[in-house]
Amino acid sequence: MLAGRTDADNDYLSVVAAKPRDWWFHVRGLAGSHVVLRAKPDQEPDRKTLKGAAAIAAFHSKARSGGTVAVSATRAQYVAKRPGSKPGTVHIRKETVLMVKPALPETSGVAENRAFAPLPLSSQESDK
């Protein structure tokens, strides 16, 4: 799992580091981290894993203290940076909206799924 801390991190994560089959997440309508869930070849994440990654995206956003939050999810291949757009801004296609409560990795269920390699978050929480 990877999460951007800054607009520049988000740009790099979304259009350079993410592989086409990885999953990409971002809270809808508010500022927040872009989160990428790394895919393993020939394995699909279950809904619990997708919602867990979405909860992490919600946690690393302005919606952190909210209740249930809408998070966009799509494959990284459907995330693009338009020329001249502001840092941290991307265009997405083929999104699915997941309704989740903001949560950290320990409570989101992501670590339990073996279809994805655990990677450190690029955030304050990974420094602890």
The helix/strand/coil state of 7 is: helix
Q: Is 107 a member of any domain?
A: yes
Residue 64 confidence (pLDDT): 83
Q: Is 34 a member of any domain?
A: yes
pTM of the model: 0.79
Q: Per-residue pLDDT tens for 11-34?
A: 998 989 999 999 999 999 888 899
Q: Is 85 a member of any domain?
A: yes
For residue 46 the two structure tokens come to: 């279950």
Number of domains in the chain: 1
Q: Is 124 a member of any domain?
A: no
Q: Is 77 a member of any domain?
A: yes
**For 37-49, what is the mean pLDDT?**
88
Q: Is 60 a member of any domain?
A: yes
Q: What is the domain extent for residue 105?
A: 2-114
Q: Per-residue pLDDT tens for 59-78?
A: 988 888 878 999 999 999 99
Classify each residue of 35-52 as buried b or exposed e, where b means 16 or more C-beta atoms within 10 Å of its C-beta: bbbbbeeeeebeeebbbb
Q: Is 25 a member of any domain?
A: yes
Q: Is 127 a member of any domain?
A: no
